[in-house]
């Protein structure tokens, strides 16, 4: 289901140069939307493009949230992705496959809905995918923060 979303929305690397974190491309923002199969998605990307940094997904009354992101390096197979929100940080199992859209790997996994990183993200709108010194994928507007809260409200049911 996330793979289909990735194919639909596309993906780009969320990585920056080796010397330090990159900045997000201009115009990147969070957007929540429903899918035809009763799933809710929360994507960080450029509107009306296939530039996407992270996609979260869930169904109502769920216990976990799916994620899709892109890694610049690593090996296909089982790996991990690290997310940080404020002081909360976690490492999550991910299936890593060569990306068909960008250089690097697509990483797909799940995070418990009650995880401290997701709780902090819902509260603050701040999150970053830490691998490869990725740029912060923070909500900067009230509309983005409202989409984040709406997404998590949907997931809880």
Domain extents in the chain: 2-156
pLDDT of residue 65: 98
pLDDT of residue 16: 37
- Rounded to the nearest 5 degrees, what angle is found at the Cα of 15, between the Cα atoms of 14 and 19? 155
pLDDT of residue 108: 97
From the first residue on, what is the mean pLDDT of each consecutive set of 10 residues in the chain (157 residues)?
Answer: 41 38 76 94 89 93 96 91 94 95 90 98 92 75 96 97
pLDDT of residue 18: 37
pLDDT of residue 102: 79
pLDDT of residue 49: 83
pLDDT of residue 104: 87
What is the C-alpha separation between 18 and 120, in angstroms, rounded?
27
């Amino acid at each position: 289901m996330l793979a289909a979303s990735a194919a639909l929305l596309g993906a780009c690397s969320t990585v920056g140069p080796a010397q330090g974190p990159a900045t997000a491309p201009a115009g990147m923002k969070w957007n929540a939307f429903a899918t035809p199969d009763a799933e809710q998605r929360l994507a960080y990307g450029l509107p009306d493009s296939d530039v996407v940094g992270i996609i979260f997904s869930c169904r109502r009354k769920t216990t976990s949230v799916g994620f899709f992101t892109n890694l610049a390096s690593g090996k296909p197979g089982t790996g991990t992705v690290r997310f940080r929100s404020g002081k909360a940080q976690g490492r999550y199992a991910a299936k890593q496959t060569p990306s068909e859209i960008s250089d690097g790997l697509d990483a797909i996994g799940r995070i418990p809905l009650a995880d401290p990183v997701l709780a902090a993200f819902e509260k603050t709108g701040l999150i970053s995918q830490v691998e490869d010194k990725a740029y912060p994928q923070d909500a900067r507007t009230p509309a983005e923060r409202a989409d984040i809260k709406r997404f998590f409200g949907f997931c809880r049911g």
